[in-house]
Amino acid sequence: MTKALVLVELKNGNAKKSSLESIHALASQGVEVDAIAFGPDTTGNKDKVAKAVGGQGAKKLLIADSADLKFYQPDIFTATIAATFKAGGYQILAGSASSLVKDLFPTIAVRLDAGLAPDCVAIKIEGASLSAKRPMLAGKYFATLKFKAFPAVVSLRPNVLTIGADSGQSAQIVATPPSGSIRAKTLEVSGAAGNSRPDLTEAERIMSAGRAIKEAANFKIIEECADVIGAAVGASRAAVDAGMAPHAMQVGQTGKTVNPNLYIACGISGAIQHLAGMKTSKVIVAINTDPEAPIFQKADYGAVGDLFAVVPELTKEFKKLLSAG
């Protein structure tokens, strides 16, 4: 039987949904899946995480914890995953195409002498091989890559694949000693503005604003609306380059790729580089003063109007609708 190791990332002590999507994608195709997670957050929440990953079909939850692993330490993550992969006789390494995985998996693929398929939107296990579909050229084309042999290293775009119904099973917890030594240690992470909004890459609803928002303080009207519907807040590169939003909020070719059920673009023209990051959203709504703006060609619904008038109205309507139950 084909065996896979899936890297599980945590947020606030919970396994991220995008990690569970990777487990389900493999386990539902008959692959024997184990999960690996790092850090003190994992140890403190191990039963909860074991239940979440087990519910999607993982047999074991390997926990690599040490005081050094409060933050992502690439040296330790690389050495531990590579050593675990080899010792466990796995053929596939998978995880969600997060920033962490984008940094980590290429190095591990080299260590394992494995092929790498990043940011895939579908995978299929075919006997002793695997094929993976991934967007190319800013999403204009899709390529299907076929691994002629294992090992294979694959990352899956968040929010594209689904998770399955919880089987009620819990994964067996196995303590795994971290390997390797740290050459450059992350001691502190600052400036990562904490808020209760969902991660952009995992969010089911996103409201983004572009250059038309004019200044950082005006994001308040977007945030107020987003908070009513539990949405994450994004931005175009023009807004980021003008210092109105941090790069972490940028959606697009050189920002984050998102795939929510609902994407509301406020004052965003719809340049190809922005579309590359959000055009697979299930429902796209555009608010723009220019009826000829290219975003309207991709939008399912559009409002031709000033975002400073339309967004507060939308907030009011959402509040009314939600309070009416």
Ligand X SMILES: Cc1cc2nc3c(=O)[nH]c(=O)nc-3n(C[C@H](O)[C@H](O)[C@H](O)COP(=O)(O)OP(=O)(O)OC[C@H]3O[C@@H](n4cnc5c(N)ncnc54)[C@H](O)[C@@H]3O)c2cc1C
Q: Find the shortest distance in angstroms from Cβ 29 to ligand X.
A: 33
| Whole-number Å distance between alpha carbons of 315 and 310 | 9
Q: Find the shortest distance in angstroms from Cβ 228 to ligand X.
A: 20
Q: Find the shortest distance in angstroms from Cβ 313 to ligand X.
A: 13
Q: Which is closer to ligand X, CB of 80 or CB of 159?
A: 159
Q: Which is closer to ligand X, CB of 54 or CB of 260?
A: 260
The token duo for 298 is 């991709």
Residues with Cβ within 8 Å of 246's Cβ and at least 6 positions away in sequence, in order, are 193, 240
Q: Which is closer to ligand X, CB of 114 or CB of 249?
A: 249
Q: What angle do CA 319, 322, 323 make, to 5 degrees?
A: 80
Residues in touch with ligand X (CB under 6 A) = 210-212, 236-239, 250-255, 267-269, 271, 273-274, 277, 287-290, 293, 306-308
Q: Which is closer to ligand X, CB of 141 or CB of 324?
A: 141
Q: Find the shortest distance in angstroms from Cβ 292 to ligand X.
A: 8
Q: Find the shortest distance in angstroms from Cβ 294 to ligand X.
A: 8
| Whole-number Å distance between alpha carbons of 167 and 33 | 14
Q: Which is closer to ligand X, CB of 47 or CB of 103?
A: 103
Contacts 24+ apart (CB under 8 A), 73-76: 73/182, 73/185, 73/186, 74/103, 74/104, 74/107, 75/180, 75/181, 75/182, 75/183, 75/184, 76/38, 76/178, 76/179, 76/180, 76/181, 76/182
